[in-house]
Amino acid sequence: MMTHTLLMPLDMHLHLRDGVMLENVAPLTAYSFSGAIVMPNLIPPVSSLEDVIAYKERIIAAVPNDYFEPYMTLFYKNYDRAFLESVMDEITAIKLYPAGITTNSEGGVSSFDIEEMRPTLEAMSDLNIPLCVHGETDGFVMDREAEFMSIYELLASNFPELKIIMEHITTKEAVEMLDKFDNLYATITVHHLLLTLDDVVGGMMMPHNFCKPIAKRPEDLDALLSVALEAHPKVMFGSDSAPHPQDKKESCGCAAGVFTAPIALQLLCEIFEQYNKLDNLQAFISDNAQNIYGICPEFKEVTLEKRTFVIPQKYGNVVPMYAGQAINWAIESVD
């Protein structure tokens, strides 16, 4: 059997939710990943030192038998420098959401007024706190990310020392931005390396493939593959795995989010092997993130084997991407 080993896999964009859902999904990531950047868009959002500490404690309690480091984030507000200094040792980044653009983002930024944001972003630059951004406008759904590029340019040019992560990029325009500014980086999901809009609504509606930002055109998929497969040093894996109960996905008003946490490594092996780029997967899944964020995860070795694996129909009450389908790689061991 063909095998492939990955060291210290990292998921640099993950939704763990809270309560019963947290207890269900957190162990699935902790089993095969050394750590993950955990998103703060709970209800209410994670926006204080006390919130960060309490949420981290709940995550660790949910995964007591696996080494797993939750890298915590704050929900972006116009924080003052004193507050940022008080919380900087407990967080890895701050996550900015445009108001109302995705799940639980109603308290996000409604106006990208640079002067209003300047005190916070300059303090973040000085304190070396990265800014993670959900980069979409409220325009036509297929154009929202491309339209946001001008805001990335505004942020990157006004705050050249601020490390800005373009989260879950989906377009060729975002890929082109990577080399325009030294301080712009990006995460890419596994589902955006596999899906176009046709896979969501091209035939029957596929609710478990529906996410925000929505999957785009074939040329966008090709652009994402071009940088992911080469492990461009400014890109890293971030699953954006976003669990919702089955009844919230299979309903009128389908919740946005694709659940890939327990199958991400297997799918990535399949993609990178298909293009004869397995040697680059280590950089994409861990090394680049370590360099970009300056983190040193504890040792974890994951060995995957090329054999048929049938994805479960459900994990608890959450339906994964490709539920019930057979894929070509499986996790053999975790040490």
Provide the annotated active-site residues: 240
What's at 121, amino acid-wise? L
Q: Report how far residue 300's alpha carbon sits from residue 31's, in angstroms, rounded to the nearest whole number.
A: 10
- Neighbour count for residue 294 (Cβ, 10 Å): 11
CA distances to 4, 111, 145, 149, 317 from 184, rounded to whole Å, are 31, 21, 15, 11, 37
Q: Which residue has the tokens 């304190």?
A: 127
The Cα–Cα gap between 281 and 268 comes to: 8
Helix (H, G, I), strand (E, B) or coil at 121: helix
Q: Would you mind telling me the total number of residues written for the chain in this entry?
A: 335
Q: Cα torsion at 86, 87, 93, 95 (round to 10°)?
A: -100
CA atoms within 13 A on the CB side of 265: 31
* 205: amino acid identity, one letter: M
Q: What is the DSSP letter of 285?
A: I
Provide Rg for the chain, Cα atoms. 19
Q: 279 near 23, Cβ under 8 Å?
A: no
The encoded tokens of residue 150 equal: 């001008």
Calpha distance 76→49 (Å, rounded): 13
Cα 166 from Cα 179, distance rounded (Å): 13
Per-residue DSSP letters for 192-242?
GGT--THHHHSSS--GGG--SSPP--HHHHHHHHHHHTTT-TTEEE---B-
